[in-house]
Amino acid sequence: MLDIRFIREHFPEVEKAIGRRNGGGSSLEELKTVIHDFLAANEQWEDFNHRRNEISNTFKMKGKELTKEEKDKLQEDSKELKSKHEEVEKVRNEHKEKLEQLAMSIPNMPDASVPDGKGEEDNVEISRWGTPPTIETPRDHWDIGTELDVFDFERGVKIAESRFTILKGMGAKIERALMNFMLDTHAQNGYTEVFPPIMVNRDALIGTGQLPKFEGDFYKCADDELYLIPTAEVPVTNMYREEVLPEEELPILHCAYTPNFRREAGSAGKDTRGYIRQHQFNKVEIVKFTTPETSEEEHEKLTRNAEMILEALELPYRRMILCAADLGFCAKKCYDLEVWFPGQNKYREISSCSNFGDFQARRANIKYKPADGGKSRFVHTINGSGLAIGRAFAAILENNLQKDGSVRIPDVLVPYLNGVKEIRKPEPNHRTKVGTH
C-alpha cells in the first residue's frame, strides 16, 4: 500500500498519479477525509493524554504540598479527562480502522515512465523477437493437441468442471520438461529455487495485494482460513513477511514452480476453449527483493530472464509496456511478454513482469537494514512469470506444427524427453475415447 504520510503531504501529486488509472480516485478522496478526521481525533487524544500525565506528575512531585481542595480538584479533573480520553480514543480507533481499510483499496502509483492510456489497446510495443513461422494451414492448439492425444478436455470436466484439463502421454511429459527446463535456466541465472506451500493464509494474500480487493477470485478451504494460491508470487514474497533483511543479502532472487488456482469469476466467456485460461495451471515464477536504488535495473534483468526462456524455446514474442490504465493493482510498472499464436493470428500474454516498488513490502512489512547502519527501509519487490507453462506448451503446438500433423519439439527440450524430437499421432489402438471401455 502507499505511505499514508506521503499521501497526506503530497495529495495533489498522488491524486494526479492515481487518476491515470481506471478507478481508485473515489477511494482516495474518501481517504483524504478520513485522514483529516483521524488526525483531528488523534490530536485531541494526545492532548487529553498529555493533560492526564501532567496531573499524575503533579501528584508524584507535589503530593505532600497540595491542600485537600487542590487534590480533590485534580482528581475530579483526572476523572473527567479519563472519560473524555476514552470517548475520543474510541472515535480515533474507528477512524484509524477505516483509514487502514481504505489504504488497502488504493492502487499503486504508476511510474513516470509508464505511458498514459485508457485500456490494453493503449499498451506500447517496445520490441519484437523472432519471425512468426509460415504455416500453410495454421490451427488452434486445442485441435492439434486433441488430435495428438495430449489433451483430454472432456474427462477433465468430468472429474472437476470446465477449465480443468488432463494431460496425457507426451502432453504430461512436455509439461514436466518445460517446468524443469525453466527452473534449470533460472537457477543458472542466479535464482535460488524454492518449492513453497500451495496453500496460504489470509495475511499472505493481503501482503501481496490480492486481498481484500479481489475477494471471491480464489479457491478457499471450507473449514480453514486457507486459500489455494493464484500464483507462486504469494508464498514466495511472504517468505520474508515481518522480517528485516541485511542489505548485504540483497538482491534476493527466487524461482518457484507451483500449480496455481484461480476462479476467474469475472472472465466468463473469455478463452473458454483450449489450454490458455484454466482454473488450475502450472507456472514457474521468478521473484526479486531489492533496494530502491537497484529495483529499476533488477526489473529489466528479470524481464530479460523471462525473454530468454521464450528465445530458447524458439517462440516469437514481443515486449509491451502496459499503460497506466491497464496496470495491475499493485504494480507501478509492468512489461507483458506476448507470444505468437498462429492459430489465433495474434500475440497472447505469457508473462507479466512487474515492479511493485515498496507497495507490497509495506503491506507485508518486509524491510532491510542498510549496510551503513541507518534506519530500516522497505525493500522493493519484483516478479514475473518465467513462464506460464501451459501457455508455452500451447504456443509450441501452434508454432511447430508440421505438414503431416506432427509437432516438432524445441531442441532445448529434447534432452529432457530422452531424445524424443516430435509429437506424432498415436496409433489408433492406443487412443481411448470418452465412453469406450
Point out the residues that are catalytic. 262, 277, 349, 352, 391
User: Which set of grid coordinates corresponds to residue 72?
Assistant: 480533590
Q: In 3D, which of 147, 155, 193, 144 has the Cα closest to residue 393? A: 144
Residues 6+ apart with CB under 8 A from 38: 92, 95, 96, 99
Phi, psi of 333 (to 5 degrees): -155, 140
Distance from C-alpha of 140 to C-alpha of 244, rounded to nearest angstrom: 49
Residues 6+ apart with CB under 8 A from 164: 156, 157, 278, 279, 280
Q: Dihedral (C-alpha) 192, 350, 409, 139: value to the nearest 10 degrees? A: 170
The secondary element (H helix, E strand) that includes residue 37 is helix 25-62
User: Which set of grid coordinates corresponds to residue 144?
Assistant: 492439434
Largest CA distance in the chain: 107
DSSP classification of residue 77: H
Distance from C-alpha of 264 to C-alpha of 287, rounded to nearest angstrom: 23
Query: Quick check: helix, strand or coil at residue 100?
Result: helix
Report cis status (omega within 30 of 0) of the bond before 212.
yes
Report cis status (omega within 30 of 0) of the bond before 132.
no
Count other C-beta atoms under 10 Å from residue 377's C-beta.
16
N residues, the chain: 437
Strands 367-369 and 244-246: parallel
Q: What is the residue whose three cell numbers read 481504505?
A: 102
Using an 8 Å Cβ cutoff, are 368 and 333 in contact? Answer: no
